[in-house]
Amino acid sequence: MSSQLAATPKAFLINGEWITNPGDSFDSVNPATGEVNYLVSCANREHVNAAVTSAATAAARSEWRDMLPHVRALLLNKIAAGIAARADELARLQMLENGKVWSECKAQAASAAATFRYFAAACETLGAEVTPSRGNYLSMTAYEPYGVVAAITPWNSPLTMEAQKVAPALAAGNAVVLKPSEVTPSAALLLGEIALEAGLPSGILNVVTGLGATTGKWLVEHPGVRMVSFTGGTSTGRTIGMIAAERLIPVALELGGKSPHIVFDDANLEAAAENIMGGIFEGSGQSCVAGSRLFVQRGVYDKLVALLVDRASRIRVGLPDVEGSEMGPLASFAQRKRVEHYVESARAEGGQILVGGKRPVAPELQNGAYYLPTIIGGLSNKATCVREEIFGPVLCVLPFDDESDLIAQANDSVYGLAGGVWTANYQKAWRVARALQTGLVWINTYKQLSISTPFGGFKESGIGREKGLSGVRLYQQSKGIYWSMDANNLA
Ligand code: NAD
């Protein structure tokens, strides 16, 4: 994998122009090799102000505000085509910055294009409503954009998250200021370039790069921002939610998770094992829906754990651009340190490391932020590793006795993003799916995701639902209109 140190920091996009802040920049580091990719500009307060002002001005222009839905849809489809045409470039940027393996980066780039196509279709077909009137009038509900949406994204899946926010926000008629993670700034910048080339009016999509505590915070605080869509950690979500509460603006928060993955003794253990592996180790476990707490009914516990340990020990950890690599590094050295800290806490709390629990020894991986797929047994549901989101390739396995014991343990979490259940009994599957306090449940599968199905968390995993048709409504406010039919009121 090649990397190069750019002489000047990457520029960000404001009002259709590329801006650099040479005075204030940071390194983008390739976690697979430890090399510096390039410098990235930090947007300061003035830049944030310019981005929000340009978005507000562009959103109010009739060129955008009055654009007919089918014309807007055409534009979104052109952006989708641009993403598809530059999918390799997008995938490569993500791989360089967060170390995901090439096949996953490619799949996420393709899915980003599909997301724009889906919201183009939604834009063209989503109607307003005529509501039942209680008198001689016509009553209607119309849907209008907020104006300027601040979209703030994490580093684990920037291609997916950015498309998931920008496409519906534009479909809904807003202008967007996008602030990607400092770890993965480049896909957002390329998306901005693609959108401009597709003919999106200047100022409708602005991209500012920088740190969360400065650039991100200034953006959320800016009085011109009318709605915030955030995906990231729960504590950051809480901070953003507090600012939004103070400002009385709506927020959508997609936050962390500690998802229970459940296997009953009547399940297809081979199929479950396959899905448990993907559910926790894909993307090196850096997935908000990672099935990181595995509950196994006691009768099949030993058998399933043996299957998992065998599979985990055979996962090919390697450089993300090498064919056959199944798991790349963590997205940063800080993230690996965090994972190591958690595994140490598991050891201290009596956990048994069944596989992994250390860095790989292969010479070509020594400069990157690699960590082996790790399975830990022997912990109680109260242990730190079982309660807190690790966001790494670490699976905690716990036995359960019966359904009520399982439900009590699975729901004993501040999080409520996703869950999975494996059983051949359809009544049990239905009961457990309904009893889990999570925004998403998979039955006899795991991590199936579709843009057409609303996504979001219960409890501290978030507020609001992205994706699906409600993903467009998330970025709109409804307006009730009463129109009298009484001819006497006309003259
Ligand atoms: P993070 O919360 O540290 O950062 C997310 C984004 O917020 C980044 O762009 C960051 O710069 C910005 N930010 C940080 N502090 C800010 C502040 N005070 N004001 C405004 N912006 C600020 O999260 P992360 O480490 O990038 O991502 C990992 C987390 O994201 C995990 O907890 C994971 O579960 C979560 N996540 C959730 C989903 C979901 O859909 N629920 C999806 C992916 C990731």
- pLDDT, mean of residues 399-403: 97
Instruction: Tell me the best of 42, 189, 288 to mutate to test the pocket of ligand 1, counting ligand atoms within 8 Å of each CB and taking the most.
Output: 288
For atom 14 of ligand 1, the residue with the nearest CA is 212
Atom of ligand 1 nearest to the CA of 335: 25
Backbone region of residue 144 per phi and psi (left: phi > 0; alpha: psi in -120 to 50; beta: other values): beta
pLDDT over 70, % of the chain:
99
Cβ contacts of residue 50 below 8 Å, gap of 6+? 14, 15
pLDDT at 469: 95
Of 166, 167, 157, 177, nearest to 104 by C-alpha is: 157
Whether 466 is in the pocket of ligand 1, judged by its Cβ within 6 Å, is: no
Cβ contacts of residue 250 below 8 Å, gap of 6+? 146, 227, 228, 244
Nearest-5° Cα angle at 281, 160 to 235: 60
Is residue 6 predicted with pLDDT exceeding 70?
Answer: no
Nearest-5° Cα angle at 314, 365 to 359: 35
pLDDT band at 467 (very low <50, low <70, confident <90, very high): very high
Q: Which residues are annotated as catalytic?
A: 165, 254, 288, 466
The string of DSSP codes covering 416-443 is ESEEEEE-S-HHHHHHHHHHS-SSEEEE
pTM: 0.97
Give distance in angstroms: CA of 248 to centre of ligand 1.
21
Of 447, 449, 448, 465, nearest to 457 by C-alpha is: 465
Residue 300's beta-bridge partner residues?
none
* 269-281 helix and 298-314 helix, angle to the nearest 10 degrees: 50
Is residue 168 predicted with pLDDT exceeding 80?
Answer: yes
For atom 30 of ligand 1, the residue with the nearest CA is 232
pLDDT tens sequence across 197-234: 999 999 999 999 999 999 999 999 999 999 999 999 99
Residue type at position 217: K
pLDDT tens sequence across 132-143: 999 999 999 999
pLDDT at 23: 77
Is residue 1 predicted with pLDDT exceeding 60?
Answer: no
Give the count of alpha carbons within 13 A of 25, CB side only: 22
Nearest-5° Cα angle at 63, 59 to 64: 40
Whether 179 is in the pocket of ligand 1, judged by its Cβ within 6 Å, is: yes
Whether 460 is in the pocket of ligand 1, judged by its Cβ within 6 Å, is: no
pLDDT at 7: 62
* Cα–Cα distance, 188 to 310 (Å, whole number): 39
Query: Do 486 and 136 meet the contact criterion of CB atoms below 8 Å apart?
Result: yes
pLDDT over 90, % of the chain:
97
Whether 210 is in the pocket of ligand 1, judged by its Cβ within 6 Å, is: no
Atom of ligand 1 nearest to the CA of 210: 11
pLDDT at 8: 77
φ and ψ of 192, to 5 deg: -60, -45
pLDDT tens sequence across 245-303: 999 999 999 999 999 999 999 999 999 999 999 999 999 999 999 999 999 999 999 99
Query: Do 59 and 139 meet the contact criterion of CB atoms below 8 Å apart?
Result: no
Atom of ligand 1 nearest to the CA of 462: 41
Residue 144's beta-bridge partner residues?
477
Give distance in angstroms: CA of 181 to centre of ligand 1.
7
Whether 236 is in the pocket of ligand 1, judged by its Cβ within 6 Å, is: yes
Cα dihedral sign, 448-451-452-454:
positive
For atom 18 of ligand 1, the residue with the nearest CA is 213
Instruction: Tell me the best of 231, 240, 282, 459 to mutate to test the pocket of ligand 1, counting ligand atoms within 8 Å of each CB and taking the most.
Output: 231
pLDDT band at 4 (very low <50, low <70, confident <90, very high): very low
Whether 116 is in the pocket of ligand 1, judged by its Cβ within 6 Å, is: no
* Cα–Cα distance, 221 to 332 (Å, whole number): 28
| Residue ranges of domains in the chain, CATH in brackets | 12-255+461-479 (3.40.605.10), 260-443 (3.40.309.10)
For atom 39 of ligand 1, the residue with the nearest CA is 254
Residue 252's beta-bridge partner residues?
229
